[in-house]
A = this chain, B = another copy of it.
Amino acid sequence: MKDAVKLTSSRKLDHLRICAEEDVECGDAGFNDIRFVHNALPECDMEAIDLSARFLGHTFSSPLFISAMTGGHPGTKDVNARLARAAEKFGLGMGVGSQRAALEKPDLKDTFSLVRDEAPHAFLVANLGAVQLRDHGIAWAEKAVEMIDADALAIHLNFLQEAIQPEGDHNAVGCFAAIGELCRDFKTPVIIKETGCGISAATARKCWGVGVKAIDIGGWGGTSWAAVEAVRAGKGRSARDKALLTLGQGFAGWGIPTVVSLAEVLATGGPVIASGGVRSGLDVAKGLAFGADLCGMALPLLKPAMESDAALAHAIEAVHRELTVAMFLTGSARVTDLRKAPVHL
């Protein structure tokens, strides 16, 4: 058991390094197929554009959401601290990575709790796998929320990753029931979140049905966990590694493109965070135009977060600048005006 916990924790660091250094993106989230109709006479003041967005009763300074990435290993503290400081500074929402490791091994807690320390006013989202929820019940959910004094709890669905990893949990039975139970009794709002394969209309309907409060798309076209596992396996030489490599490559194309998933989920309800392959302020604008409430980025913020506060601030400012220009050129004074901006498909 101890070894398994160590594995969970050290894998976190592995993933961080691979994601930062190797090519783990795959496919096309669909943003390139959307073009805004230029408004040559926008009649609005770019300097007065209001980026503030509302989601789950909270007001954010911008619709950019820092998607769940890390925590659970001492080596991830710096990254998490920088992300948290940026969330605080820019008034962004932020999700932490899966808290499983810290729930299994409490002395890892501070790799998560520092996030709240650094971002006392930010909207923070706790993070737990659906499998862990099923296996450990509401107790873990409560602990996860408590650990960072979270404003919401994301239950992530990552069965592609689980299925590919030989050590993964290959049984999904009972996860949906556990989500239903959680939603019935829990005070903190529950978000359902994919991690790169997207959510279908059918899955979304099931989730709304049991009281899920928001869906985070996590669609295909950005970071691919199949690609990450393929890269990890490609470094080894055993038959097991070769099999894992093949499997990872085979499923790098699996998933619902973010824009397709967004359309599917929005047809069933909301609110929704668009994420997976969001790569620029223009992509954020497109996600919002399609109807998303917030747009999440993980990978594009990882590299600068590993570097410095300044690099991360630059990256976020670039997104805001591009989003602002897109809003200006469609005559959108507020983020919600983007929904009325005409687009060519």
- Which residues does A use to contact B, with CB under 8 Å? 35-48, 130, 157, 159-160, 163-164, 170-176, 179, 192, 194, 197-200, 202-203, 206-207, 220, 239, 243, 246-247, 250-251, 253-256, 260, 280-282, 314, 317-318, 321-322, 325-326, 328-329, 331, 342, 344
Contacts and interface: CB of A to CB of B under 8 A. Distances in A.
B329 A197 contact: yes
Given A45-B171, A170-B47, A157 B256 contact: no
A172 B44 contact: yes
Contacts of A157: 40-41
A47 B162 CA distance: 12
Given A199-B40, A247-B322, A255-B38, A45 B172 contact: yes
Given A38-B197, A41-B130, A197-B329, 7 more contacts: A41-B207, A47-B170, A172-B331, A202-B342, A247-B322, A251-B282, A254-B326
A162 to B, nearest CB: 8
Given A38-B255, A41-B176, A163-B329, A200 B342 contact: yes
For A39, A174, A197, the residue with the greatest tally of chain B CB atoms inside 10 Å of its CB is A39
Contact of A198 (B40, B48, B314): B40
A247 B159 contact: no
18 contacts: A37-B256, A39-B202, A40-B157, A40-B198, A41-B157, A41-B203, A42-B172, A43-B172, A45-B170, A45-B172, A46-B171, A170-B328, A243-B314, A250-B280, A250-B281, A251-B282, A251-B322, A254-B326
Copies in the complex: 4
A154 to B, nearest CB: 13
Contacts of A160: 38, 325, 329
Contacts of A282: 250-251, 254
Nearest to A47: B170
B173 A325 contact: no
A282 B176 CA distance: 26
Contacts of A174: 43
B41 A172 contact: yes
A197 to B, nearest CB: 4
Contacts of A170: 45-47, 328
Contact of A42 (B40, B159, B254, B281): B159
A41 B322 contact: no
A192 B331 CA distance: 18
Contact of A159 (B171, B173, B329, B344): B329
Nearest first, the 7 closest Cβ-Cβ pairs linking A and B are A46-B170, A40-B157, A38-B197, A45-B171, A163-B325, A42-B172, A40-B203
A325 B251 CA distance: 9
Contacts of A159: 40, 42, 328-329
A251 B281 CA distance: 10
Given A40-B198, A157-B40, A250-B280, A260 B45 contact: no
Nearest to A317: B243
B251 A39 contact: no
A42 to B, nearest CB: 5
A42 B194 CA distance: 13
A344 B281 CA distance: 28
Nearest to A325: B163
A97 B41 CA distance: 20
